[in-house]
Structure 1
Amino acid sequence: MCCTSLPALPGPASTSTGSSIAPWSPCCPPKTDSGYLLDAAVGYGYRPWQAGLWLIALTLLGTAAFHTAQPKPVKPGEGAPFSPLVYSLDLLIPIGGLGQRNAWYWEPTALQWTAYAMIAAGWLLTTAVIAGVSRVLNRT
């Protein structure tokens, strides 16, 4: 049961107008913007598998988005052919590389900004997974 559903208690928690407020409880602290993000990403570390679901969803969305156009090669005639799936994975995995991110680039379009957003999301979700698995994240 969350503290927002607890009844108000009389006593020192009363306000100056005489109305009582529910006491703060560590079982459900007030959420901040980062609290909502952590809850959605890894459930404060209790559901680190959620970030994996986000990574899968972003991989599928990125694959669909990057399938709509062909990027320009950095060095024409060299490197592996473009693969939207591998390119999406390469953007989302911050460490290492699959060779697609450095071999292809987009003209300044919405797809270029999609690639930037996927890089940022990859860093955030990977950090959240590592922190969630190691139980660094908590509700406070």
Structure 2
Amino acid sequence: MTTVSKQLLVEQWRTLHNNHENYESYALIIKLVATAITLFALTFSVATFVTFLILATLWLQEGIWKTFQQRTANAIIAIENKLDIHNDEQSNESMKPYLVYKQWQENRPNTQVLIVEYVSNSLKPTVMYPYLPLMLIVLIF
């Protein structure tokens, strides 16, 4: 692989990595919209069922957004596979920082452990917030 092609791959890696990180900002926007809709629904006495469905839809939308993020990670891993230099070129330390996603993928657990990890991560406050609390508020009021 030529130096120019390596640099182009690194540039593509950086672009995709920045996009991957930006998806987190967009997920936060979805959460803020869910909060605003709940406040609107409570203020104007929108039907509980309708509000609940909107919140469930936004929660699913964030899940879809996270799927896009995962596809970006898959593209990054493909680039990292190309940057994963073997044999005599392995000593080039400048490429190793660009193998983050590949290393993560290689350390990924089996399906059962992964499902348990997904459920436990879904119960973390940063993930279930604001959906579960907003749904509870809607049900209470």
Q: TM-score range by the shorter chain?
A: 0.3 to 0.5
**Higher RCO structure (Cα 8 Å, ≥6 apart):** 2
Structure 1 length-normalised TM = 0.32
**Structure of greater Rg:** 1
Structure 2 length-normalised TM = 0.32
